[in-house]
Amino acid sequence: MKGQTNTFSKLAAKQLRKTMTEAEQRLWHRLRGQQLDVKFRRQHPFENYVLDFVCLERRLVIEVDGAQHVGNQDDENRTAKLNQAGFTVLRFWNNEVLNETDVVVQAIWNALNPSPPQPSP
C-alpha cells in the first residue's frame, strides 16, 4: 500500500518482524506461503500502525493481542480506522493462538471464504 505509511512505521515493522511473539510465530507458520490460498504479510506498516498480519487482496487484518490490550481504547480506535479504510479486522488473544491454533486458523479461513447466503425454506 504505497504512500500510506510513515518512516517510523516502516522501521518499527522491520524490528517487529525480528521479535515476533511466540503466538505470532505460531500463527505465521500457518499463514505463510499461501497455505490458505492467499498471501499474508506479517508486521505490515499501514499509516501510523503496524498490522500483525494482513491479506491485502482480501483486505483482512489479523491482530494477535496479549494482556496489555485488555480494555485498550487505542485498539478500538485502530479497528475503527481500519474498518473505515475497508479492512475487516479479526482479533485473537495470544492464548487462543497458542492453545487453539486450529480453531483460530479455521476462523481466518471462514473470514476469507464466507458461506453464501442460504435461501429461506
Q: Which domain holds residue 25?
A: 7-112
pLDDT at 39: 96
Which residue bears the cell 498471501? Answer: 39
**Cβ 42 vs Cβ 28: under 8 Å:** yes
pLDDT at 19: 67
Write out the three cell numbers for 26.
505460531
pLDDT at 49: 86
11: helix, strand or coil: helix
pLDDT at 72: 62
Output the CA torsion sign for 94, 98, 103, 108.
Answer: positive
Q: Which letter does DSSP use for residue 88 in this model?
A: E
Within-domain flag for 118: no
* CATH number, residue 104: 3.40.960.10
Q: What is the pTM of this model?
A: 0.81
- For residue 25, how far is the Cα from the chain centroid? 13
Within-domain flag for 2: no
Q: Structural domain tally of the chain?
A: 1
Per-residue pLDDT of the chain (121 residues; tens, 9 = 90+): 444 555 555 665 556 666 688 999 999 999 999 999 999 999 898 888 889 999 999 999 999 988 664 556 688 889 999 999 999 999 999 999 999 999 999 999 999 998 777 777 7
